[in-house]
Structure formats: structure tokens, C-alpha cells
Amino acid sequence: MYLNHFGLSEFPFGITPDTSFIYSNDAHQEALNTLLIGLAAGEGFIKIAGEVGTGKTLLCRRFLTTLDDSYQVAYLPNPLLAPQALLGAIAEELGLTLPASENEFHLLKAVNLHLLEMAAQGKKVVVVLDEAQCMPLESLEALRLLSNLETEKRKLVQVVLFGQPELDEKLANPAVRQLRQRIVFHYRMPGLRHDETAHYLAHRLRVAGYRGGDLFAPATARVLWRLSAGTPRLLNILAHKSLLLAFGEGRATVGRSHVLLAGRDTEGTCALPWWRRW
């Protein structure tokens, strides 16, 4: 591939979330601050929403790395589960060994006893769910019932939801209005701004070992931003394909034509006005 050609030690624009490539722009830092402040408050649900590819999973992983030993975490990357299966998955993540035949009542009771034990040890329990827009309404309600568990002083468990905008639509359903009222902190993840794109590209290249000049000129970075609308995942795909095209021609830098060709070959890109293609 193009690693040796551009002096790279690894691919800089992969779409698999990798915390070593985190670009901490204003929005990413604001979202992380929202999570940490919400966690410090110790009450209610925390919700992070955003379009596909805006970096929610990467943010989730960075958030998890900030939690020290005073927290016990139950992380579910795919919570498309019925209420009983959801409680069973949370119990398993918390280290509980329970018979598979346990019903919802006994699962909730076992989790409650564990939460009381953790509280007695001075530990906080956090349930983190990625792709929360996939959850059935009944499972969201089971999650609310779990969050009811509390002592006289504080909640025994906090819940953090990461999801696409469809999560907001699901939470607008009257059937889960009680849960919606318990969302104390929330943040909507935007895409990258046009003035952040060149810095984002340079940052990922630097992490991947690049030590040369600008591979993407400012004008080229602007075209990438317009095609991707600032969505990091789409930007990564376009940048990767552009590097392949430049490598195929033996070029030392990525040109506008490479980016436009990459855009034609990529689903979900934004259409450019005819005059921007020149």
C-alpha cells in the first residue's frame, strides 16, 4: 500500500475507533466535559447523541479510560436486547454469576444487592450503552427501573446513553417520558468545522508517523470537508482513498483531483456545485 511511499508507520485514516488517534477538538472536549460533570453530579441519565460517524464510539472509549478504580463499569456495545436479556447482560458485566433461567424480578433483585454492596465499599456503578437507539422501548423502561435503585443519599447506579438521532425520536415516545425527564445532562455531537479539518488530517498523519510537509494543502482539505460535511468517519474514508490515488500516480502530495475522484467512489458524500469542482 502507500505506507512506505509517504513515510507512515500505520494507516492514518482507519474507520475502526482507535483512542491513540483522538483529535480533541472543541466539540469532543465539550462532550467529554458533559460526561464527566454528569458523572460527578451522581444523578440521572446522561445522553450523548450524534449522526453516524461523528465519533460517539471513540468518545465513549475515551470516557471509559478516564474512569479509575472507584468506578465499576458495565459496558454494552450493542444493547438490542429484551428487558430480561438486558438485565442479564448488565449483571454479567458487573461480574455476577446467575442462572440463565432467572426471571426479570430476580435479576433486578440480584443487581440491587450488588449495587448496595458496591455502595458500601465506596464504589460507583456506571452502566454505559453504545448504539442506544437500537433499544426496544420495554428495555428503556427496564433501564429506568434499574436507575430507581438508590439510598437516602444518592443513586446506586448511573446510566450513560450514546446513540444516533433516532434515540431522541425514541425518547419522545410518551411511553418513556419518565426516563426522558431523568436525562439531566445531554450533548449533541456535531461534525468538524471547516477550520478544524486541516488540523485533524495533520494530527492523524503525525500519529501515524508522518514527518514531512503538508500532504493535504488547505484548499484540498476544504474540498474534503465539503464532501464529508465534516463527518470524521466519511472524512477518513475520503482521505484514505485520496492517498491511494496519489500513491498510484507516484505523487508526494494529495491533489484536488484525487479528492474529487475519491468522492465519486464513496457513498454518502455531499454533492459539490459545478463551480467548486474546478
Count structural domains, the chain.
2
106 confidence band (pLDDT: 50, 70, 90)? confident
152 confidence band (pLDDT: 50, 70, 90)? low
Mean pLDDT of 84-91: 92
Residue 122 counted as domain residue: yes
Spatial distance between the Cα atoms of 169 and 166, rounded to a whole number of angstroms? 5
Residue 47 counted as domain residue: yes
Q: Which three cell numbers stand for residue 42?
A: 451522581
Spatial distance between the Cα atoms of 188 and 149, rounded to a whole number of angstroms? 28
pLDDT 10s digits, 238-268: 999 999 999 999 999 999 999 999 999 999 8
Domain shared by 114 and 248, yes or no: no
CATH code assigned at 254: 1.10.8.60
Residue 19 counted as domain residue: no
Mean pLDDT of 66-73: 94
The domain boundary, picked from 139, 168, 189, lies at 189
Mean pLDDT of 178-205: 94
Assessment of whether the complete model's pTM goes beyond 0.85 = yes
pLDDT 10s digits, 161-175: 999 999 999 999 999
- The answer to whether residue 62 scores a pLDDT higher than 70 is yes
pLDDT at 273: 57
Coil, strand or helix: which one is 94?
Answer: coil
108 confidence band (pLDDT: 50, 70, 90)? confident
Mean pLDDT of 7-29: 93
Range of the domain at 209: 3-14+193-276
**Alpha helices (H) in the chain, listed in sequence order:** 3-6, 26-41, 56-66, 83-93, 104-120, 137-147, 166-171, 177-180, 194-207, 218-228, 232-248, 256-264
- The answer to whether residue 274 scores a pLDDT higher than 60 is no
Domain shared by 48 and 67, yes or no: yes
Spatial distance between the Cα atoms of 263 and 266, rounded to a whole number of angstroms? 5
pLDDT at 178: 93
The domain boundary, picked from 141, 162, 189, lies at 189
125 CA to centre of own chain: 20
Mean pLDDT of 13-41: 93
Find, among 76, 80, 77, the residue nearest to 91 by Cα.
76
Contacts of 248 (CB under 8 A, 6+ apart): none
Residue 20 counted as domain residue: no
pLDDT at 240: 97
The domain boundary, picked from 189, 213, 243, lies at 189
The mean of the pLDDT values for the chain is: 91
CB 129 within 8 A of CB 146: no
- The answer to whether residue 278 scores a pLDDT higher than 60 is no
CATH code assigned at 61: 3.40.50.300
Give the phi and the psi of residue 191 in degrees, each rounded to 5.
-85, 180
Residues linked to residue 125 through DSSP beta bridges, in sequence order? 72, 157
42 confidence band (pLDDT: 50, 70, 90)? confident
**Which is more confident, 105 or 171?**
171
Domain shared by 175 and 222, yes or no: no
